[in-house]
Structure 1
Amino acid sequence: MVEEVSARPVDVGLPAVIVCTTCRSEQGERGAVLAESLQREIARQCLGESVRVVAVDCLNACGEPVSLALTGEGQASYVFNHLEPTNDVADVVSTVKAWLDADRGFIEDASACGRLRFCLTARIPFV
């Protein structure tokens, strides 16, 4: 189940894949499609004990939909834009795996991230 968050703060616990659900891709797909697809794929790959999918109303990147963030305590955070909810699921999951495996979440070799390498908007270092 995708965790839904609106105005309340995201609980610090498992690292999170945060997806803007109101964004629409150029093809008209909402970010909610991406959140649901990611949840299914993360469960299918048995990653649910390592990361959770959190749906939020807005990531304030409306001009560059669909947006997604990776964040976790003690890890670098990432923000990605221009995602395609149907086509980018595999690349998002590959990026999540690389992020979880990386020292403090700092992905040094992004080759496994596929198209997401070109969708990165920000990397926020762990402090």
Structure 2
Amino acid sequence: MTVTLHVCTTCRMGQSIPDDEVRPGARLLEALQAEGAPDGVRIVPVECLSACDHGCNIAISGPGRWSYVYRGLNPDEHVADILSGVAAYAATTDGIVPWRDRPVIFRKQSLARIPPMES
């Protein structure tokens, strides 16, 4: 089953950014796409994850799995860790990656954990 990595393209990282400049969230999306999605993962842009005060934000979800929202991510520093964390998430059946197997940014920068939808 495919896992989705949602990337907020409107995130400003708390900066004042003119409307005609590329926002950090869009830069994060571009960097993730340039590296390429892990097997079983698709990268999808979204316009807002409603966590605007927290910097660049992502959400990961998959059928029958817990979903997560992560905050405060940096397009210049966290791309490899994001992709590693999403790959570990995709390898689970329930979305729960053991604590020590998560990248540090996934341990410390989790904003929300959402239970799977019931069918």
Q: Normalising by structure 1, what TM-score?
A: 0.77
- Aligned with 1:104: secondary structure? coil
* Percent of pairs with identical residues: 39
1: CA distance between counterparts of 2:36 and 2:69? Answer: 19
The match for 2:20 is none
**Where in structure 2 are there 5+ consecutive unaligned residues?**
18-22
1: CA distance between counterparts of 2:106 and 2:83? Answer: 10
The match for 1:20 is 8
| Pairing partner for 1:125 from 85, 108, 115 | 115
Runs of 4+ in 1 over 4 A off after TM superposition: 26-29
| Pairing partner for 2:89 from 81, 96, 99 | 99
| Cα displacement (A) at 1:26 | 5.0
Within 5 Å, which residues of 2 pair with 1:70-109? Answer: 70-109=60-99
Q: Contact 1:25/1:85 (CA < 8 Å) preserved in 2?
A: no
Instruction: Report the RMSD for the aligned CA atoms in angstroms.
Output: 2.0
- Aligned with 1:81: secondary structure? strand
Within 5 Å, which residues of 2 pair with 1:20-59? Answer: 20-25=8-13, 30-43=24-37, 47=38, 49-59=39-49
1: CA distance between counterparts of 2:28 and 2:45? Answer: 10
| Structure 1 residues 94 and 58, CA gap change in structure 2 (3 angstroms) | same
Q: Normalising by structure 2, what TM-score?
A: 0.81
- Aligned with 2:59: secondary structure? strand
Quick check: which one's strand share is greater?
A: 2
| Structure 1 residues 14 and 101, CA gap change in structure 2 (3 angstroms) | closer
Choose 61-70 or 99-108, whichever is displaced more. 99-108
**Where in structure 1 are there 5+ consecutive unaligned residues?**
1-12
| Cα displacement (A) at 1:59 | 0.7
